[in-house]
Amino acid sequence: MPESVASEVVSAMVGGMFSASALYPLEVLKTRMQAESKKPTSNPQEETATNSTEDSSDNNNAANGSESSEKQTLKHQYSLAASEGMSSYASLMYQYEGGITPFYAGVGTSAVQSATEKALYFFAYTFFKNGYVNLTGSSNIGTISNLILGCMAEWAHLPVTLPIDCVTTAIQTDDKNRGAFVLLGNILSEKGIGGFYKGIQAYTVLCLKPAIQYTVYEQVKKIVLAARRGGNAGRKMVDESLSAAEAFLLGMVARIVATMLTYPYLRAKVMLQSTYGNAKIKPTIPQMISEQFSEGGVWGLYQGIGPELTRGVFSAALMMMVKERIGVMVRALIDGRDQQRQQQQR
C-alpha cells in the first residue's frame, strides 16, 4: 500500500473514532429528533375518553387502553419537543428514559462505524486522487474533479458502512432498549440483507456531503499553504501542514457548508431507517421531503439541524485536527524509516 495512503487511512481512522465518541450524546439527539414525525394523530385526551367509555365493562381492556393512551401522549410530547429544540428533547429523554444512559446507547457501534467509514473513505479518496494525478500528470486537482473523486470515494465504502449505520440508528431509536445483536437479528429476519441498506437511495445526493466537506477543506487548505509559502519565500523550510487551530476552524467551516446543502436528504434517510423501517409501502426520498415541507415548511426540512450542526461541526473540526496532527506523525515515521534504509544501502 502506498505510504501516502497509509498516512491518510491511519490518521482518518483515529480521528473519526475520537470525534464520534467524544460527541456521541449529540449524535443520539440528532438521530432521535430527525426520526420524529408530525403525522396527525388523534388527541390523547380524546383517546382516553373513548377508551374509558368503550371499555368500561372490561377492566383489562381499560388498562390496555390507558397504557396505550399514555404512550401516545408521551409520543406527542417528544414530537413537540423535537420541534422546539434539542434542550427540550434532551430534558424529556433524561426525565423518562433513565438519566444519561440513553445518550450513550450504541456508542461502541458508532465508534466502529465512524472509524471504518473515515478509514475507507480516505483510502478510496487517496487511491482515486493518486490515479487521477498519474493519468493527468498534474497534481493540481480542481474543485469539480475533487467533488467527483469525493463522490466515488463515498460510494466505495457504503457496502461496508451502511449496514453498521443502519444498526446504529436502530439502537438509537429503539424504545425497548434492545442490544445491537438483537436488533441485527431482527433486521435480518424481517428484511434480509436488504434491510441493512434502507435509505441507500438518499445517497444519490448524500454522497455529495463528504465530497463537498473535504473539497472545501482541501481547496481552502491549498490557499492557506500557498499564502504561507508566499510569506516565507526567503526560508528554506516551510511547514506543509495546518496547525491544530487552523485545521479545527477550517473543518468547522467545511462541515457547515456541506450540512446546510444536504440536510433534508439526511433527515429523509434517517426516517426511512426508523419511522418507516417496518412499513410495507415506503415513500420515495422526494415524497418524504415534500411531506416534511408540507408539515412544517422550511423548518420541517431542517428539524434536528441544531444538534446535527453542533455535533457535526465539532466532530468534523476535531476529526480534521486529530487527522492533521497524526498524519504529520505518520509521515515523520515513514520518512525516518526511508532515511534509515538509504543509510543502510550506503
165: pLDDT strictly greater than 50: yes
Read off φ and ψ for residue 239, nearest 5 degrees.
-65, 120
* Cα separation, 71 vs 283, whole angstroms: 26
Amino acid residing at 284: T
Tell me the pLDDT tens digit for each residue of 198-247.
Answer: 777 777 788 888 888 888 888 888 888 888 877 666 555 556 677 878 88
Q: What is the pLDDT of residue 233?
A: 62
Render pLDDT for 123-140 as a digit per residue (tens, 0 to 9).
898 889 889 989 988 877
- Decide: helix, strand or coil at residue 75: helix
pLDDT in tens, 54-82: 444 455 555 566 667 877 888 888 888 88
**DSSP per-residue string spanning 189-256:** HHHGGGGGGTTGGGHHHHTHHHHHHHHHHHHHHHHHHHHHHHHTTT-S----S--HHHHHHHHHHHHH
DSSP state of 284: P
pTM of the model: 0.65
**CA proximity to 159, closest of 129, 203, 115:** 203
pLDDT in tens, 96-111: 888 888 888 888 888 8
Q: For 311-325, what is the mean pLDDT?
A: 80
Confidence of residue 45 (pLDDT cuts 50, 70, 90): very low
Give the closest residue to 11 by CA, choosing from 256, 306, 335, 320. 320
CA 116-121-122 angle, to 5 degrees, is 105
Rounded Cα gap, residues 242 and 65, in angstroms? 61
pLDDT band at 41 (very low <50, low <70, confident <90, very high): very low
What pLDDT is stored for residue 47 in this prediction? Answer: 42
C-alpha cell at 202: 438518499
Residue whose entry in the numeric block shows the C-alpha cell 477550517 = 250
Which range has the top average pLDDT, 33-37, 87-91, 205-209?
87-91
Structure-block grid coordinates of residue 94: 433524561
Torsion-angle region of residue 192: left (phi > 0), alpha (psi -120 to 50) or beta? left
- Confidence check: pLDDT of 329 > 60: yes
